[in-house]
Amino acid sequence: IRLTIGRFHYYPERQWFNINSAKGAVFKEGTLAENNISDGTSVVFKDLGVQISWRLVFAIEYAGPLILFPLFYYFPNVFYSNVPLHLERPLAQRVGFWLAIIHYAKRELESLFVHRFSSATMPIYRLPINCFHYWIIFGASVGYFVCHPRYHALFTSPIPIYTAALVMLVFEFFNFQTHITLRNLRPRGTKSRGIPQGWGFELVSCANYFWESLAWLVFSILTFTLSSWIFLVVAFVQMSIWALKRHHAYQKEFKDYPRKRRAIVPFVL
């Protein structure tokens, strides 16, 4: 449905319809008959406001750490005081920096070329809220302390540092594979989905969140800053909320959904 009222163009993504009242049943995709609409039925229209594509939202979100981390790392004199003339960064700091860059570069590429979204857009006024997690909690807070000129590394030996880096990259690879699995379950241009299998999905409904949580756990152990641990807790809590919501949606949609499968943590949550 396309509505043009005065100077406002209510393109389909801005439209929301309820049947008979503002709190009535939602008008879903399909015919009028399929939505139980007949002569005498009233339909209430709501303007959702200016929309922005989810693909662009993710691209903007993940750009935060990719911009802020290099600024803190390569231009310390701008953000810190008493920076040594010849700054020698510990190995753990250098590795932690590049692991963060690799993670968010991966997320950017996945957003552009891998992900398929059930909803095409979201209201643009929510963009600052979405960006806060990545730009402020991680990009600004974690970046500031991980890239600090007076950063003191917990690990100094190369063996545990490179081991941690390898383990995190393995978790990142598993996370990437879960995104490919989810993509293949949703044909292009549809909102349909199936029951995901493989790469941890036999144990949890949101294996992508499980592997990402483990990756950030390794990152927090390696960098060992308070801001890294705070980010880990915030990220895990948020991913758990999303995972539980999707887990219940799977159970409701698929009657044969595996009963022993948990939401995000195998055998626990």
Residue 150: what pLDDT? 95
Coil, helix or strand at residue 14: helix
Coil, helix or strand at residue 218: helix
Residues 231-246 pLDDT 10s: 999 999 999 999 999 9
Greater confidence, 254 or 9?
254
Residue 100: what pLDDT? 98
Phi first, then psi, for residue 8 (nearest 5°) are -95, 130
Q: In one letter, which amino acid is 65?
A: P
The answer to whether residue 89 scores a pLDDT higher than 60 is yes
Residue 1: what pLDDT? 46
Tokens representing 76 are: 């310390």
- In terms of average pLDDT, the best of 27-36, 96-105, 121-130 is 96-105
User: Please, where are the H alpha helices in the chain?
Assistant: 54-74, 76-79, 91-113, 127-131, 143-146, 158-185, 207-223, 226-253
Phi first, then psi, for residue 265 (nearest 5°) are -115, 120
Domain map (residue ranges) of the chain: 3-47, 51-253
> 148, 87 in Cβ contact below 8 A?
no
Residues 1-32 pLDDT 10s: 444 554 556 666 666 677 767 677 766 666 66
Please tell me the least confidently modeled range out of 153-167, 176-190, 206-220: 176-190
Report the chain's C-alpha Rg in angstroms.
23
Please tell me what DSSP assigns to residue 26: B
> Cα separation of 116 and 108, whole Å?
13
Q: pLDDT exceeding 90 applies to what percent of the chain?
A: 71
Residues 55-64 pLDDT 10s: 999 999 999 9
> Cα separation of 111 and 26, whole Å?
29
